[in-house]
Amino acid sequence: MKSRKLIFFVDRGDIARAPIAAAITNQELIKLGLQDRYVAFSRRTQGIAPDDPVPNKYLNLSYYPAQFAYSKEWLKRNMIDLASRCSTGINSWDAEKAAIIFSMDENTRASLRILFPDQEIKIYMFSEIVGESTGLVDPEFVDGTKKTEQIYDQIKNTIIDHLSCLLGLVEETREGNREPRESTNCLNRR
């Protein structure tokens, strides 16, 4: 069996956005029978990056009472369990073996570039899947279920609606064929 291509989603704490993106991606890969070719993981930069050295304080979303309450029903509806997982920092093995690394926001991308300058060709903003270069709001900084779920729905819809673009970026990057950043909009390459 060929080894699977590793897709990493990275945010500051590996608490919500990145693990949700990895979970949704893996669900979709299973639905399409592609789980033998690709697998997604989530990681954090907090406590590892020189520009963010303070260690991660909590292991997972359940340690954030308000945010967990805002998230609980959405996670249940989407069959995602974030309460039993542990936040994991990205390391050099992850970066080296990754086919692609999706940063959930600009600060995380900056940290990844500092940590792994030799892997920069693999580092994309999550929003580049749809031809943008904007970061996703961290749900830790919003109040209420509605705003939290909007962030999660944005992640989910991006992955479900544009999985072929996501996988196209994986293949392109793995083969070293990455185009300049201005041209990474796979929607224009169909």
Res. 182: pLDDT tops 60:
no
Give the position of tokens 């989910």: 156
Mean predicted confidence (pLDDT) in 49-54: 87
Mean predicted confidence (pLDDT) in 14-23: 98
Between 55 and 156, the higher pLDDT residue? 156
**pTM to 2 decimals?**
0.91
Q: Which domains does the chain have, with CATH numbers?
A: 5-183 (3.40.50.2300)
Helix then strand then coil, % of the chain, to nearest 5: 50, 15, 35
Residues 6+ apart with CB under 8 A from 46: 12, 13, 14, 52, 54, 55, 56, 89
pLDDT at 163: 97
Mean predicted confidence (pLDDT) in 142-148: 96
pLDDT at 174: 60
pLDDT at 181: 37
CA dist 46 and 24 (Å) reads: 23
User: From the CB of residue 14, how many other CB atoms can be counted at a distance below 10 Å?
Assistant: 29
pLDDT at 186: 47
Rounded (5°) CA angle 21-96-34: 45
Res. 120: pLDDT tops 80:
yes
